[in-house]
Amino acid sequence: MIRNTIASVAFAASMLASGFAQADIDFKPLEKDPDTIVFGFISTESSSNLKAQWQPMIDDMEEVLGKKVEAFFAPDYAGIIEGMRFGKVHVGWFGNKSAMEAVDRAGGEVFVQTSKSDGSNGYYSHIITQADNDKINTLADMLKCDHTLNFGIGDPNSTSGFLVPSYYVFAQNGVDPKDCFKTVRNANHETNLMATANSQVDVAANNSEQLARTKMVKPEITDKVKVIWTSPLIPSDPMVYRKDLSRELKSQIKAFFLGYGRLGNVEEANKVLGGIQDGMGKFMESSNAQLYPIRQLALFKDKLKIQNTAELSDDEKAERVSAIDKKLAELDILVSYE
């Protein structure tokens, strides 16, 4: 009886979760496990910087798995998502928003998440401007919407650079960036930080990890900017692999990540992790359930946008909002299972 109850709950959760994903035919199935594992990285900064940080761990992964492991850097987040969708990327470091896209459209599955070297989890989205800009100190100063400011927003698949500020900064204040600023430019975190420091944009979205990382290597850049808004805590980044890899290979990959910094040459592995981003800690167990709060956030943003759209009739708004509320109710059930 207990076993049947647990199975029923698991089945119900899987059925509800499937409502947020597109059909499996959207991604190309793998015919077999790859001879070479391709490890994809979202473009938070330049590929040369990312390679320098991650290559030592890739080398260790290759040695432990006994398979060749190649790094793949795309110019934007979509490139990694599409790479996984078509079987060209098998494992990837994602943000929560891009991981959600990988799970829904590219046959991905979250298996671990990152942590900080101090043992903490999570990070923050920020809005930044020049340190010496005495005219912009708050969101209210930024959201005067007189089309005089140039704004740098993140990649559309970025959690901290796009989704989080889109909801908390713009949707909650009933503001469309395109109707507020002189220009709106999409770029990765590093580019937006540099553009702000060099006064190429007036304000920009960024995050605590990029600011801390840059402060470690180029403090003269972070000295030129100040934070005028900080988000609620965002879950640490998920690692995603193709769910149709064999169970054996997935187990080996997951074991490598969970063992890294815990087994073998612990001191050297922790040194490698400490050199990634602003100081990464050990990987922690995770699953697609990590994405539930991000799904809720995306739905809340869509709901606010619908409610603030003048072009829709009251009946059209009610119908669309009702559909979103149904999905939010389903997510509440999923969250309650955790």
Other beta carbons within 10 Å of 246: 11
Where residue 207 falls (left for φ over 0; alpha for ψ -120 to 50; beta otherwise) is beta
Query: Given pLDDT bands bounded at 50, 70 and 90, which one contains residue 307?
Result: confident
Q: Name, in order, each residue with C-beta under 8 angstroms of 93's C-beta and a sequence gap of 6 or more.
A: 39, 40, 41, 42, 54, 114, 237, 239
Instruction: Tell whether the model's pLDDT for residue 205 goes beyond 60.
Output: yes
Contact 280, 117 (CB under 8 A): yes
Q: List the chain domain ranges.
A: 13-120+235-294, 125-230
Helix (H) or strand (E) segment spanning residue 109: strand 108-113
Q: Name, in order, each residue with C-beta under 8 angstroms of 302's C-beta and a sequence gap of 6 or more.
A: 324
DSSP state of 37: E
Per CATH, which fold does 13-120+235-294 belong to? D-Maltodextrin-Binding Protein; domain 2 (3.40.190)
The region of weakest confidence among 122-131, 272-281, 301-310 is 301-310
Instruction: Tell whether the model's pLDDT for residue 5 goes beyond 60.
Output: no
Query: Given pLDDT bands bounded at 50, 70 and 90, which one contains residue 243?
Result: very high
Instruction: Tell whether the model's pLDDT for residue 21 goes beyond 80.
Output: no
Helix (H) or strand (E) segment spanning residue 113: strand 108-113
Instruction: Tell whether the model's pLDDT for residue 2 goes beyond 90.
Output: no
Q: What's the predicted TM-score (pTM) here?
A: 0.85
Do the two domains 13-120+235-294 and 125-230 of this chain adopt the same fold? yes
Q: Name, in order, each residue with C-beta under 8 angstroms of 73's C-beta and a sequence gap of 6 or more.
A: 40, 41, 43, 47, 50, 51
For the chain, give the mean pLDDT: 91
CATH number of 125-230: 3.40.190.10
Q: Name, in order, each residue with C-beta under 8 angstroms of 317's C-beta and a sequence gap of 6 or more.
A: 306, 307, 309
Give residue 308's pLDDT. 82
Q: Which pLDDT tens digit goes with each residue over 118-130?
A: 888 899 999 999 9
Q: Where are the beta strands (DSSP E) in 177-260?
A: 183-186, 203-207, 225-230, 238-242
- Segment 106-112 shows an average pLDDT of 97
